[in-house]
Amino acid sequence: MAMQFLSDNAAAVHPAIWRAMQAADAPDAPYDNDALSAGLDAAFADLFGRDCAVLWVATGTAANCLALATLVPPHGGVVCHREAHIETDECGAPGFYTHGAKLLLADGEGAKLDPAGVAAVLDAIRGDIHQVQAHALSVTQASEYGRCYTPAEMAALAGFAQERGLRLHVDGARFGNAVAHLGCTAWEACAGADVLSFGCVKNGGLGAEALVFFDPALADLARVRRKRAGHLQSKGRFLAAQILAMLEGGLWLENARAANAAAREIAAAAGERLLHPVEANEIFLKVAAPEREALRAQGFSFYDWGPDAARLVTAWNSDPAHVATLARAIRAL
């Protein structure tokens, strides 16, 4: 049987999530009119220390795209990193949800952006009617290469976005891993955002992500668009239950810390092979094809990342024995 480092999407559902879902299996109002859904705003307000309006959705793509659709008109643009998930892995979903708004691609090390990188995109746009104007900025915390924005970096970006009149979206598919790494508050890790996609599925959830609006006025539009996109599940209480269980007692952070620790253990073994500093739960390794073959022969599953590299991902429940075995195997390459 494979030792699984393919994806945190493939990991098991946390027992507390199962318990919460089963506890939700009592009659209540359909859609998001149930008591659990009604409790989301308060739960996130506690977490972030400010007013929130929160919607559940089934996937990160839906969360990201509903967020963008509330921030950007069809004729507008969203600045994001060239390797952002919304650009590379959502099959054009942002174009669908925004009715054709444009992703304006910026560069930055480790799939992270900074004000200079964003400015390079913005400053190349003429302010006339022939060019698509930027309306929002979207960044990923932790980034597609598992890199985290420090509170200072996030504040700089948020300040810059505000200065340039851009709304700010944070894709937090691995937000827990970022906060676990940074050791800051949840708010500090996304301070200044208008809306955050707060990931649960990669962190021990089953099928629920939280879309957190720090500007609650935006949430009403997102609610209509969620319904219109077929994402208003009639038994929504089961999604709310997952999210609340994730927040309960800090499970989201606990799970993320476990995944990060496993990643650090592997990283420590990888030395010079690391293509990116390991800050969250992803490890990008320089490994030649025969080396990858050797690892797979030992039972490890993972993705190739181009011709000479591999991506390994740990999860909340990565087996310590598997992790240790993998670390040894990498050292032994």
- Footprint on this chain of a copy of itself (rule: CB under 8 A): 2, 4, 6-7, 9-13, 18, 21-22, 25-31, 57-66, 73-75, 77, 88-93, 95-102, 129-132, 201-202, 206-207, 221, 223-225, 227-235, 238-239
Q: How far is the CB of 122 from a copy of itself (least distance, A)?
A: 15
Q: How far is the CB of 178 from a copy of itself (least distance, A)?
A: 19
- Smallest distance from a copy of itself to CB 100, Å: 3
Q: Which of 86, 72, 210, 80 is nearest to 137 (CA)?
A: 80
DSSP-based three-state secondary structure for 311:
strand
Q: Which is nearer to a copy of itself, 131 or 298 (CB)?
A: 131
DSSP string, 160-219: HHHHTT-EEEEEETTHHHHHHHH-S-TTTTTTT-SEEEE--GGGT-SS-EEEEESSTHHH
Contacts of 254 (CB under 8 A, 6+ apart): 316
Q: Which is nearer to a copy of itself, 94 or 187 (CB)?
A: 94
Report angle CA 314, 212, 177 to the nearest 5 degrees. 20
Please identify, using beta-carbon distances, which residue of 73 and 277 lies nearer to a copy of itself: 73
Collapsing DSSP states into helix, strand and coil, what is residue 290?
helix
Give min distance, CB of 151 to a copy of itself, in A.
Answer: 29
Tokens representing 273 are: 């092979």
Q: Report the residue number, 202 or 311, with the smaller CB distance to a copy of itself.
A: 202
In angstroms, what is the minimal distance from the CB of 271 to a copy of itself?
Answer: 28
For a copy of itself, give the closer residue by CB, 18 or 150.
18
Contacts of 115 (CB under 8 A, 6+ apart): 156, 157, 160
